[in-house]
Structure 1
Amino acid sequence: MVDPRTPVVVGVGQFTERIDDPDYRGMSSVALATEAVRAALADTGVAPAAVAEAIEVFAGLRQFEICTPMPPPLGASDNYVRSVARRVGANPARAVLEPIGGNGPQKLMTEFAGEIAAGAIEVALILGSENGSTLKTFANRPDADKPDFTERVGGQLDDRGYGYEQYMSEYTVKHGLTGAPVQYGLLDNARRAKLGLSVDEYRRQMAELFAPFVKVAAKNPFSASPVERSVDELVTVTAENRMICDPYPRLMVARDQVNQGAAAVVMSVAAARRLGVPEENWVYLRGHADLVEQDLLLRADLGASVSAELAVTEALRVAGIGLDDVATFDLYSCFPFPVFTVCDTMGLAADDPRGLTLTGGLPFFGGPGNAYSLHGIAETVCEMRERPGTFGLVGANGGVMTKYSVGIYSTDPADWAVDRSKELQAQIAALPEVAVTRDVDTTGVIETYSVRYDWPETTGIIIGRLDDGSRFMATSTDADLVALLSGGEPLGQRISMTAVDGINQARLA
């Protein structure tokens, strides 16, 4: 017997439409989420209407189309969360819209499971969706042929803001850190520097990491790209597998132009019993932790993640298990680095026979914006039901390896346990910081780098160190330096900088 306030996940749902499906509709974010929520309500095993009416909190993940103040290209609801709630016959007391960050699904699960355990609420639903495929499909069509997804529903909404301030600054934006591939390219190349691998060796290591993910995605009915590919196909640069940002060809980059939705219902044991949810549907959140990394340029080691290591370790402690006791993993995989760093810090082999994904990973299953790990949670819940008494770990990452949230799930019952994330966050805050020199008119060496092939002019993006140990950023379109960055070994290379309007412009020294 457990405390009746103990939270249990009782329903999960997913939905995907692919552009090559014969019944492809080009759906809105609201419509995609609605399909997933309906599936989650049905998955509880009781009347969906009864569950919908009992939900007190609808918590949504922010889509890319509403991640900036710019108007959504095809229009959107003024209250995404309540638009979905209305379609499924729910009228929650609270609607919440989370800031950007792929850690959001697990963070929200932990937050509202905690509120349930505290007796503040009894039933919550977490939902997310992304309609990048629809946006791409209609992008170049005449306005008359475009759908209008504008809705005015109003109502209460706890809009928690965009959240960009945690991921970028004026200084980093000026130096080209305006997209995830270039940001993670810096981290993967920093890890390569630590390992002492060549460009080709590291690219093959990335492909070998992701090859098993491809196999999982190929069998997943909710996958956006159920196509099996070999290591050689992943590693070889071709017209189809073009370079995006060094060190990534396209097939190693999160696939964000997808139409996908996911949802999960979590409620107290008391509510589950009252509503008649079959106990075989109950999955407990046995371990959890949420941590935030230092700002990018302040980190002593750009090739590792302290927050991910501490979050995984703490979630295991809360669950009362070790890493060897975990039966399944779904590690956030927008790029290789978030998977590698968990493996590195936790002593988990990249080819662990348990596998590192249940979905197939963001480049292959699909990367529906901030909502991806809700699919990871859904897959984990289903797997735990099939394997009673085992444990599944979900690792959710946001920003530039900025925020890491971990959940450990099991049908094995236990009362809710509080994690020590606040105390661990204080440890991260106390870590040494690297000094940053903003304007540089001298020489330094390349610590890590990426190359933006996605810009009109191929541009090198550099993080380097000055002779005094301080860190700087620089960009370069210098032909000789760009050639070295894109086709040679630039790590440790001495370069010369000139500061112009707050941008350090680099060339070979």
Structure 2
Amino acid sequence: MNDPHRIPVIIGVGEVSGCGTPLNLEPLELIRRAAESVSGVAAAPWITRADSISVCHIASWSYAHPAATLASKFGAQPTDLFDAPIGGQWPTRLLDRAASRIAFGESTVAVVAGGEAQASVSAMTKSGRNPADEGWAADPGGPPSFDLDQLGSPAMQLAGLITPVRIYPLFENRLRFEISESPQAQMARCSELYAAFSRVAESNPYSWNGKARTAEDIGTPSQKNRVVCEPYPLSMNAMPFVDQAACLIVTSLAEAREHGVPEDDIVYVWGGAGADDTTDILDRSSFGRSRALESSLDRTLHAASTGVDEIDVLDVYSCFPIVPTLATRHLGTLESLVPSVTGGHSSFGGPLSSHSVHSIAASVRAIRAGKHCALVHANGGYMTYQHSILLADIEHSNGYIGSPEPVAVEHDSPARAHAESGDVTVETVSVEHSRQQEPAQAFLVARDTHGRRIAAQTAPGDTESARRLSLYRTSTPTEIVGTTITIESVEGHIRVREH
């Protein structure tokens, strides 16, 4: 029999959202309000007793010590304070960490929280107002800075592969080629998936864009839904300009029962597993899959001796369609099980590193409403950092089965070379469009005649080369991956000849 003092459970979840309207409140204040809104228990006594507080990275405003500042706001004196670095994987990893500490007797009450106020920062900036002049924290305050190393390796930077909107399409476009899917079928698949997400978001009271959309609306490029990087229009990109925050209270089963938490409000944290891929995407053996994602999901289910057929709540990180696509293809889930319980990053909202705190909160509500088992997956970096976790309405027979420390994924990395003039075979490509809805710049990963991987970008302004690498180079979207093209190396960029 498991010791109830070592069984981690979630007893409270709270969320706040501007629901499409900037709240003009700084992120830590949003988090404090999320904590005040916790359902299931009277939050204040629990949070005041917290011996562990973890905060996801905040990108919209700078804080020197967010967890410590939050503890002060709560009137708590935790011995464990954790300020997570940037990364969307951290909500599930932090929950797994909190659960592990409870399971090993290192903690009694833990708080995991996150929030963003990018909508307010953007609105204030556009109107000429400085949040610091309106009482926002000045420790140090202002937008956070970051190191160039966070953008990618030197080779990635040289090739222009430095932002998620350019990189995630590389995986989507390679997958399309590997499964012999036409560009039209790919767009239909992604559109239908995100339409399903929008219907979930419509029923979520904390959604930023809480209106259901049709697949046709999502998948049709227009002035308001321009293609950002092929194949994704704006509607398939995460929406970071939100004001949203969420908070979780985690404790032991014994503690919950001792303090009278109703059994129906207790949600068991079975545990999870994480995996980290190489940070240089050009060292990965394939762009058609994510070994780290597969490892995280497989190890989570294996540790719990649970099959995917036992999961009736699934939330997969959805900054771009490729992530839930790869996850559901690998898991083999039923088509009827929509892989989002929030509504996804484009409809619910994408508060950067803290999105999956909302996923956990929504999963808890679903279990309290009668569901049995939830699998929540979170992703960070460029499909780099993965962590999944299982929640349920009953205790696992083995107690806590998680492993908060990630494993490293290894690859048989391909030989690499600099781009030189000559023939290459397109391995994958992303093409950025202008606001005039035309191909503007291309970012190519290819193999030279010796099988070596090369990565390069076309020059800004060389719209003809971008068009030649575009799905839209003809009147009907046409596959470019897998074709052989001729390039010229010109002053650090490539020019594509007619083919």
What residue in structure 1 maps to residue 226 of structure 2? 242
Which amino acid is the alignment partner of residue 206 of structure 1? Answer: C
Q: Distance in 2 between matches of 1:56 and 1:273?
A: 19
Aligned residue pair count: 480
Per the alignment, residue 399 of structure 1 pairs with 381
Conserved 8 A contact 1:223-1:365: yes
| 1:482 Cα offset (Å) | 1.3
Counterpart residue identity of residue 426, structure 2: I
The 1:378–1:162 alpha-carbon spacing in structure 2 relative to 1, beyond 3 Å, is farther
1:89–1:192 CA distance, 2 compared to 1 (3 A): same
Residue-by-residue CA offset, 1:335-381 (whole Å, 9 max, x unaligned): 100011012222235xx212211111111000001001111100111
Which residue does 2:347 correspond to in 1? 364
Q: Hey, what does 1:172 align to over in structure 2?
A: 156
Change in Cα spacing, 1:466 to 1:100, as seen in structure 2 (3 Å) is same
| Structure 2 CA distance for partners of 1:472 and 1:504, relative to 1, 3 Å | farther
Out of 180, 193, 197, the position equivalent to 1:213 is 197
Alignment of 1:428-439 (within 5 A): 428-429=409-410, 431-439=411-419
Q: Which residue of 1 aligns with 2:235?
A: 251
Equivalent position of 2:453 in the other structure: 471
Q: Distance in 1 between matches of 2:18 and 2:91?
A: 21
Which among 358, 375, 379 is matched to residue 362 of structure 2? 379
Q: State the shift of 1:147 in Å.
A: 4.4
Shift of residue 263 of structure 1? 1.0
| Contact persistence 2:19–2:210 (CA under 8 A) | no
Which residue is 1:60 aligned to? 55
Deviations 1:161-189 (A, max 9, x none): 97975761122122222221111011111
1:115 Cα deviation after fit: 1.2
Match in the other structure for 1:281: 265
Q: How well do the aligned residues superpose, as a CA RMSD in angstroms?
A: 2.5
Moved more, 168-177 or 257-266: 168-177
Q: Deviation string for 1:257-279 (max 9, x for gaps)?
A: 01000111111223323433223
Could you say what secondary structure the match of 2:116 adopts?
strand
The 1:372/1:460 distance shift into structure 2, 3 A limit, reads same
Q: 1:61·1:100 contact (CA, 8 Å) conserved in 2?
A: yes
DSSP-derived class of the 2:241 partner: coil
State the 1:146 CA deviation.
7.0
SS at match of 1:82: helix
Q: 1:474 to 1:213 in 2, by over 3 A?
A: same
Asked if 1:10 corresponds to 2:11, the answer is yes
Contact 1:125–1:266 (8 Å) recurs in 2: yes
TM-score (norm 2): 0.90
Which residue is 1:505 aligned to? 494
Task: Output one character per residue of 1:125-165: Cα deviation in whole Å (capped at 9) or x when no partner.
Answer: 111001111111012233478744543679xxxxxx97975
SS across alignment from 1:324: helix
Q: Does 1:448 align with 2:437?
A: no
Would you say the 8 A contact 1:329–1:356 is kept in 2? yes
Structure 2 segments unaligned to the other structure (5+ residues): 474-478
Confirm or deny: 8 A CA contact 1:16 1:223 kept in the other structure. Answer: yes
- Map residues 79-228 of structure 1 onto 2, 5 A cutoff: 79-143=65-129, 147-151=133-137, 165=149, 168-228=152-212
Q: Distance in 2 between matches of 1:481 and 1:254?
A: 28
CA distance in 2, matches of 1:470, 1:217: 44
Assess, with a 3 A threshold, how the Cα gap between structure 1 residues 326 and 143 changes in structure 2: closer, same or farther.
closer
Identify the residue that residue 69 of structure 1 maps to in structure 2: none
Distance 1:144 1:163 in 2: 24
**For 1:303, which of 271, 275, 288 is the aligned residue?**
288
AA aligned to 1:474 is: A
Output the amino acid matched with 2:489.
Answer: T
Distance 1:93 1:132 in 2: 30
Structure 1 pair 239/283, CA: closer, same or farther in 2 (3 Å)? same
TM-aligned CA distance change 1:385 to 1:181, over 3 Å = same
- 1:229 corresponds to which residue? 213
Q: Distance in 2 between matches of 1:61 and 1:482?
A: 38
Match of 2:312, SS? strand
CA distance in 1, matches of 2:204, 2:394: 26
Matched, 1:45 2:27: no
Contact 1:99 1:163 survives alignment (8 Å): no
Q: TM-score, normalised by structure 1?
A: 0.88
Instruction: Decide whether aligned partners of structure 1 residues 153 and 101 sit closer, same or farther in structure 2, where only a CA change above 3 A counts.
Output: closer
Alignment partner of 2:407: what SS? helix
1:494 equivalent to 2:485? Answer yes
Worse-superposed segment, 175-184 or 120-129:
175-184
The answer to whether the 8 A contact 2:96-2:271 is kept is: no
Distance 1:34 1:454, change over 3 A: farther
Structure 1 CA distance, aligned partners of 2:468 and 2:54?
47
Counterpart amino acid of residue 62 in structure 1: H
Aligned identity (percent) is 26
Give the distance between the partners of 2:403 and 2:18, measured in 1 at CA: 40
Deviation at 1:19, TM superposition (A): 4.3
SS in structure 1 at match of 2:23: coil
Equivalent residue of 2:338, what SS? coil
Aligned to 1:27: 25
CA distance in 2, matches of 1:344, 1:505: 35
Which moved further from structure 2: 220-229 or 165-174? 165-174
Report Cα offsets for 1:310-330 as digits up to 9, x if no partner. Answer: 211211122221001101101
Aligned partner of 1:26: which letter?
A: N
Distance of 1:282 and 1:479 partners within structure 2: 57
Instruction: Summarize deviations over 1:390-416 as a string: whole Å, max 9, x none.
Output: 111101111111111111110211343
1:448 and 1:252 map into 2 onto residues whose CA distance is 19
Q: CA deviation at 1:480?
A: 3.0
SS class of match (1:222) = coil
Q: Is this contact kept in 2: 1:474–1:506, CA < 8 A?
A: no
Kept in 1: contact 2:235–2:346 (CA 8 A): yes
**1:92 counterpart letter in structure 2:** P
